[in-house]
Amino acid sequence: MIVVMSHKASEDDIEAVLLRLEKNGFKIHLSQGVERTIIGAIGDKTRLGDLGLEAMPGVEKVVPILQPYKLASRTFHEEGTVVRVGDLEIGGNAVHVMAGPCAVENREQLLSTARLVKEAGATMLRGGAFKPRTSPYSFHGLEEEGLKILAEAREATGLLVVTEVMDARTLPMVAEYADVLQIGARNMQNFFLLKEVAKVDKPVLLKRGPSATIEEWLMAAEYIMAGGNYNVILCERGIRSFDNFTRNTLDLTAVPAVKHLSHLPVIVDPSHAIGKWRFVPAMARAAIAAGADGLLVEVHPNPAEALCDGPQSLTPENFSAMMDDLRQIAAVMGRKMG
């Protein structure tokens, strides 16, 4: 960490900073320039947050040098992590597509969707039993009934199940049925929930919050890993920007960026990012071309009748055509579809 002192800092101000750094076990390099004094401090980055240096008199700014995450960092673990879900390997050579409706609406809807996406090449089934909705007056999911339908679809098709957990109280119930626990974008910094899923022996799919920097996203992963669960799959799903033509702005550069910074697998959810099915296949192709390890895609047998997020759902026909393209893009990347 670099501490830049104000050009008005007194000798006492500088002394006080040096003292606090030393007291906290940092090794110090002092540069006294004409314009200002700069203090380099090397030590345990994880304590940095609580040192309070920026509030000390004469301190102009504190510039962190090392990343604040450790377990999630590629420096810590050079090889890419492969997260195992049943027989599947997320982050290995195979590209995995997790498909299904936004919400589990009923048995027929889910089972028919599951069969169709399985046939087209998906390896996992998505579908919400608990739905976070902006309006208190919208459909909020079938809850345990929805989870049971998901489990039945797994039996029927062999697709593994990823579904959202919204709350610590319902976590045991969701963990009983799901193969992968999804943390939704709005819960990315729900630290209580992160600590709870850290204790469960199931892989976690961690969506990026709509206003989370890549660093904050990796810090959320760090929470889960620090709690003992190393099976974290990251999922880019769009960030909030000023342009509202699409629902969010899909930040595909986050894929190679996260692969550079971290060893964790990264997948992409183009459906939620964009909010318009028409642009989903193009961005699914782009995601694989950018190096994503998989996709989370909404498919509905009849989008116009969907209880949730119909406008962003592909029909089974569109999904199947998209999968054909993805197979070819994956081949260019030296990968196969999972």
Interface pick for a second copy out of 97, 100, 123, 222 (rule CB under 8 A): 222
How many residues at the interface with a second copy, by CB under 8 A? 104
User: Does 318 sit near a second copy (CB under 8 A)?
Assistant: no
CB burial class (10 A; 0-12, 13-18, 19+) of residue 279? middle
Query: H helices then E strands: how many in the chain?
Result: 10, 14
Nearest C-alpha neighbor of 15 from the set 64, 44, 56, 43: 56
User: Does 129 sit near a second copy (CB under 8 A)?
Assistant: no
Interface pick for a second copy out of 128, 303, 316, 338 (rule CB under 8 A): 303
Task: Tell me the closest approach of the beta carbon of residue 104 to a second copy, in angstroms.
Answer: 15
Task: Tell me the closest approach of the beta carbon of residue 276 to a second copy, in angstroms.
Answer: 8
Structure tokens at 105: 């609406």
DSSP strand E in 127-282: where? 160-164, 180-183, 204-207, 232-236, 266-268
Calculate helix-pair angle for 214-226, 254-261, nearest 10 degrees.
50
157 vs 313, which CB is nearer to a second copy? 313
Interface pick for a second copy out of 10, 93, 106, 138 (rule CB under 8 A): 138
Decide if 139 contacts 133 (C-beta within 8 A).
Answer: yes
Site for a second copy in 158-187 (CB under 8 A): 166-169, 186-187
Interface pick for a second copy out of 132, 173, 202, 320 (rule CB under 8 A): 132
Site for a second copy in 224-263 (CB under 8 A): 226-227, 239-246, 249-253, 255-257, 260
Q: How far is C-alpha 11 from the geometric centre of its chain's CA atoms?
A: 46
Interface pick for a second copy out of 311, 318, 320, 335 (rule CB under 8 A): 311
Site for a second copy in 34-93 (CB under 8 A): 34-36, 38, 40, 42, 46-47, 49-50, 52, 54-57, 63, 65-66, 68, 75
Task: Tell me the closest approach of the beta carbon of residue 233 to a second copy, in angstroms.
Answer: 19
Task: Tell me the closest approach of the beta carbon of residue 86 to a second copy, in angstroms.
Answer: 28
Q: Which stretch binds a second copy (CB under 8 A): 111-119, 143-151, 152-160, 278-286?
A: 278-286
Decide if 326 contacts 290 (C-beta within 8 A).
Answer: no
109 vs 190, which CB is nearer to a second copy? 190
d(CA 178, CA 151): 8
The number of beta carbons lying within 10 Å of the beta carbon of residue 90 is 27
* Alpha-carbon distances, residue 281 vs 24, 66, 102, 126 (angstroms): 52, 38, 17, 17
User: Does 10 sit near a second copy (CB under 8 A)?
Assistant: no
Site for a second copy in 194-213 (CB under 8 A): 195, 209-211, 213
Q: 249 Cβ partners below 8 Å, 6+ apart?
A: 238, 239, 240, 241, 243, 273
Q: Which stretch binds a second copy (CB under 8 A): 107-115, 118-126, 149-157, 190-198?
A: 190-198
232-236 and 96-100 as β-strands: parallel, antiparallel, unpaired?
Answer: unpaired
d(CA 270, CA 242): 18
Backbone angles phi, psi at 101, to 5 degrees: -75, 160
Task: Tell me the closest approach of the beta carbon of residue 209 to a second copy, in angstroms.
Answer: 8
User: Does 291 sit near a second copy (CB under 8 A)?
Assistant: yes
User: Does 279 sit near a second copy (CB under 8 A)?
Assistant: yes
Q: Which stretch binds a second copy (CB under 8 A): 92-100, 109-117, 151-159, 269-277?
A: 269-277
98 vs 250, which CB is nearer to a second copy? 250
Interface pick for a second copy out of 223, 266, 297, 322 (rule CB under 8 A): 223
